[in-house]
Structures are given as C-alpha cells and as structure tokens.
C-alpha cells in the first residue's frame, strides 16, 4: 500500500509540474488574469490591476482555460 501512495504522490508532482509549464507557456495577456484568478483575485480586482473591463478579463480567463484543457486532452490521447 505504501508503494501505491508513493506512486500517486510522484504522479501528482509530475502533473503539477507539467501544468505549471503549460500555464507558463500561455501568452501573457491570458496567463496573467488566469493566474490572478487562481490565486483568488476577483474579476473586478484583476480588471483594475490590468486596467481592462471585467468582460475582457472573463474572456481571457475563459480562453486560458480552453487552451489548457485542449493541451491536456491532446497529451492524454
């Protein structure tokens, strides 16, 4: 049982590292609002920080999610 837990921990770390690489590869205009949102900032706060309308922030976060999910799905095939 201990071996299985170790394998899961290793797999989790590898997945997290891979995800970090994918996020870092996003264009800055998508990466910045996405990372801020993940860190807990509200749309309004992100918009104020980036001097952009909330709608633009929501769109960029949505696009970042789509890009990441697409890349993850392609890797898992």
Distance, in Å, from the CA atom of 35 to the CA atom of 41, rounded to the nearest integer, reads 9
Model pTM greater than 0.85?
Answer: no
Nearest to 29 by CA among 4, 46, 9: 46
For the segment 50-68, what is each residue's pLDDT rounded down to a tens digit? 999 999 999 999 999 999 9
Two tokens at 65?
């999610």
pLDDT tens-digit readout, 2-52: 555 556 787 777 688 888 999 999 999 999 999 999 999 999 999 999 999
| Maximal CA-CA distance, the chain | 52
Domain that holds residue 32: 2-75
Q: What is the CATH number of the domain that holds 9?
A: 1.10.10.10
Tell me the pLDDT band of 74, cut-offs 50, 70 and 90. confident
**Domain tally for the chain?**
1
């Amino acid at each position: 049982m201990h071996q299985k837990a170790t394998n899961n921990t290793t797999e989790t770390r590898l997945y997290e590292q891979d995800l970090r690489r994918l996020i870092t590869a996003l264009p800055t205009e998508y990466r910045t609002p996405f990372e801020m949102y993940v860190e807990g900032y509200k749309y309004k706060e992100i918009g104020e920080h980036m001097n952009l309308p909330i709608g633009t922030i929501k769109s960029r976060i949505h696009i970042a999610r789509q890009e990441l999910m697409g890349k993850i799905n392609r890797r898992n095939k």
